């Protein structure tokens, strides 16, 4: 038997901030603190004052809710429609709205199919978020995953998600013309026409769809994606100071996209930093932490989402940058790790152990792993069940008085750490020397599943510092029982041996 949900049938009791206007099929409504969704289903045409509004909500053809109310004068004209509250997470719902005049004849009707109630995620950053990997297989749309297209139209969530040529944002169009290899507005329009036809969708794969599909399958909660990223962009191009430019700036377009989706989101997926690491200006790469912290604070303020969780990807591998840029790459990774440790609600997962599709972009198989890693971090925020940050360094300490072994402990390990083949990725930075792999044995501690033991043939200089995942193309193979991997870190001091540890 279908359980009838509680309904609010008056605009006065359904605030504009709570009711998400329906814009079309496949829309995902962000559920509120009470774990329900509220929407306003417009008729899209004028109706006479005094008309009777009727609506029905069905799921898979079965009735979920229905009701009617008399149209108030304030609801006439283009505001005519029905507010509906108490929609439980799930779907897909079909919402049918009609208006009948004094004689009982239908004067207006609107129907919305495949409406979902769940969580929304805004996607931002540069090319590894926008998607640069070739799409290797045509995925069957998941009925619980939809995307707010860059043209402002909701659609099933399948890669490519960032179909940039379809965007109606001035910032995206200008970037396509300036650095995207597109020569004219006419060329953009023609590419958009082909992309929208579905025969040749524009763009590549990212982690986003894999993220959303895993979360939906694991929780049964629908997931919606809001793409706003663009390749090659720096953090300054995402500056909150550009908000007043509206959709002519990346930041303004991101805020506009959140508003388009209803104004509330569960969180943000962020993959960016390559452009800042490539900069030769210390004012750019040495200030990333401060600028990113401000970006997060402003994004929460400007979208009205003070508790928005931000899940970031630490810089991955690259083989096309000059090697003299390596310290900047490592330094930016460390700033990203610091942001996850110090900025509330910011989490990070690694990408430096993932396979690439070219010299700098994570490939299809790598994005499958990255998407699930981000989803595992997002999971407690979807289920309201604690916290699950990415794996990070807890402590590095000498394991004996002779300083010939180092215990490296990690936080948030699921099951136990392991590796296929010999564990790799640790280096020592000795005073006035570059970091090198100086360990003859790296092993796991059976009594401490979150510990890696590094063994050296001679005493380690107490001034040495430890690194993991350093360099632009490290070899890394350590993961836990969930396929999560430690984030790159270092150089960090090694704590002195203590008998009780």
Structure tokens, 247: 């959709």
Write out pLDDT tens, residues 132-147.
999 998 889 999 999 9
User: What confidence score (pLDDT) does residue 473 get?
Assistant: 95
- Exposure class string for 433-455: b at 16+ Cβ within 10 A, else e: eebeebbeebebbeeebbbbbbe
Structural contact between residues 431 and 463, judged by C-beta atoms closer than 8 angstroms: yes
User: What confidence score (pLDDT) does residue 7 get?
Assistant: 30
pLDDT at 474 over 60: yes
Tokens 């969780």 label which residue?
Answer: 309
pLDDT at 372 over 70: yes
Place 476 in a pLDDT band, splitting at 50, 70 and 90. very high
Beta strand spans in 350-403 (E): 392-398
User: What confidence score (pLDDT) does residue 71 get?
Assistant: 62
Helix, strand and coil in the chain, % to nearest 5: 30, 30, 45
Report the run of H or E that residue 59 belongs to, with start and end.
strand 52-59
**Residue 48 or 245, more confident:** 245
CATH number of 126-164+204-383: 3.40.50.1110
CATH number of 11-115: 2.60.40
User: What confidence score (pLDDT) does residue 72 get?
Assistant: 56
* CA–CA gap between residue 194 and residue 165 (Å, rounded): 10
Structure tokens, 3: 């359980």
Write out pLDDT tens, residues 255-300.
999 999 999 999 999 999 999 999 888 888 899 999 999 999 999 9
* CA–CA gap between residue 51 and residue 67 (Å, rounded): 14
Q: What is the mean pLDDT of the chain?
A: 91
Its sign, for the CA torsion 78, 83, 88, 91, is: negative
Strand ranges of the sheet holding 426-429, from the earlier edge strand across to the other edge = 426-429, 465-468, 489-493
CATH number of 392-493: 2.60.40
pLDDT at 24 over 80: yes
pLDDT at 399 over 80: yes
Segment 469-492 shows an average pLDDT of 96
* CA–CA gap between residue 427 and residue 422 (Å, rounded): 14
Structural contact between residues 131 and 102, judged by C-beta atoms closer than 8 angstroms: no
Pick the most confident of 15-24, 66-75, 122-131: 122-131
Of the chain, the percentage scoring pLDDT greater than 70 comes to: 94
Structure tokens, 463: 């001034």
Among the residue ranges 11-15, 410-414, 479-483, the one predicted with the least confidence is 11-15
* CA–CA gap between residue 468 and residue 426 (Å, rounded): 5
Segment 423-429 shows an average pLDDT of 96
User: What confidence score (pLDDT) does residue 78 get?
Assistant: 58
pLDDT at 150 over 80: yes
- Exposure class string for 150-177: b at 16+ Cβ within 10 A, else e: bebbbbebbbbbbbbbbbebebbbebbe
Structural contact between residues 223 and 383, judged by C-beta atoms closer than 8 angstroms: no
141 — alpha (psi -120 to 50), left (phi > 0) or beta? Answer: beta
- Exposure class string for 28-60: b at 16+ Cβ within 10 A, else e: bbbbeeeebbbbbbbbeeebeeebbbbbbbbbe
Structure tokens, 234: 């720096």
Ranges of each domain in the chain: 11-115, 126-164+204-383, 392-493
Its sign, for the CA torsion 335, 480, 469, 473, is: negative
pLDDT at 217 over 70: yes
Whether 11-115 and 126-164+204-383 share one fold: the answer is no
Q: What is the DSSP string of 448-497?
A: EEEEEEEE-SSPPPTT-EEEES-SSS----EE-TTS--PPPEEEEEPBPP
Model pTM? 0.93
Structural contact between residues 59 and 90, judged by C-beta atoms closer than 8 angstroms: yes
Looking only at Cα atoms, what is the longest distance across the chain?
95
Q: Give the gyration radius of the chain's Cα atoms.
A: 26
Write out pLDDT tens, residues 46-87.
787 778 889 999 999 999 999 887 765 335 445 688 899 999
């Amino acid at each position: 038997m279908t359980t009838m949900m509680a309904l609010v049938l008056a605009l006065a009791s359904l605030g504009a901030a709570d009711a998400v206007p329906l814009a079309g099929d496949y829309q995902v409504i962000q559920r509120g603190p009470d774990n329900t969704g509220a929407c306003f289903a417009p008729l899209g045409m004028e109706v006479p004052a005094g008309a009777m509004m009727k609506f029905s909500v069905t799921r898979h053809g079965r009735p979920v809710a229905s009701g009617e109310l008399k149209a108030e004068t304030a609801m006439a004209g283009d505001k005519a429609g029905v507010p509906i509250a108490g929609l439980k997470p799930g779907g897909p719902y079909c919402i049918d709205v009609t208006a009948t005049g004094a004689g009982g004849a239908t004067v207006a009707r609107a129907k919305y199919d495949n409406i979902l109630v769940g969580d929304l995620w805004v996607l931002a950053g540069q090319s590894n978020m926008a998607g640069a990997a070739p799409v290797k297989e045509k995925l069957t749309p998941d009925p619980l995953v939809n995307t707010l297209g860059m043209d402002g139209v909701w659609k099933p969530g399948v890669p490519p998600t960032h179909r940039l040529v379809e965007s109606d944002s001035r910032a995206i169009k200008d970037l396509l013309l300036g650095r995207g290899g597109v020569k004219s507005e006419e060329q953009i329009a023609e590419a958009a026409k082909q992309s929208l036809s579905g025969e040749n969708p524009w763009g590549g794969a990212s982690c986003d769809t894999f993220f959303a599909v895993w979360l939906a399958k694991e929780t049964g909660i629908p997931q919606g994606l809001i793409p706003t990223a663009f390749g090659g962009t720096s953090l300054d191009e995402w500056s909150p100071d550009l908000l007043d430019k509206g959709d002519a700036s990346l930041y303004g377009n991101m805020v506009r996209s959140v508003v388009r989706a209803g104004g509330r989101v569960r969180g943000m997926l962020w993959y960016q930093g390559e452009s800042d690491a490539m900069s030769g200006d210390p004012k750019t790469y040495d200030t990333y932490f401060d600028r990113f912290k401000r970006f997060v604070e402003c994004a929460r303020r400007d979208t009205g989402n003070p508790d928005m969780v931000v899940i970031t990807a630490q810089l991955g591998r690259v083989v096309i940058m000059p090697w003299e840029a390596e310290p900047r790459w490592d330094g930016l990774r460390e700033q990203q790790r610091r942001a996850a440790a110090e900025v509330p609600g910011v989490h990070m997962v690694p990408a430096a152990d993932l396979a690439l599709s070219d010299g700098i972009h994570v490939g299809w198989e790598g994005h499958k792993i990255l998407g699930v890693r981000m989803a595992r971090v997002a999971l407690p925020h979807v289920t309201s069940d604690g916290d699950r940050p990415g794996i990070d360094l807890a402590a590095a300490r000498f394991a004996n008085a002779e300083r010939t072994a180092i215990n490296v402990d990690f936080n948030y390990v699921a099951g136990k750490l392991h590796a296929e083949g010999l564990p790799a990725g640790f280096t020592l930075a000795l005073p006035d020397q570059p970091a090198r792999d100086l360990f003859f044995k790296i092993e796991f501690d059976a009594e401490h599943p979150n510990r890696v033991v590094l063994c050296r043939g001679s005493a380690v200089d107490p001034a040495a510092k430890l690194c993991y995942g350093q360099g632009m193309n490290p070899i890394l193979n350590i993961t836990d029982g969930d396929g999560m991997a430690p984030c790159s870190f270092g150089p960090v001091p090694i704590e002195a041996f203590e008998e009780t540890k």
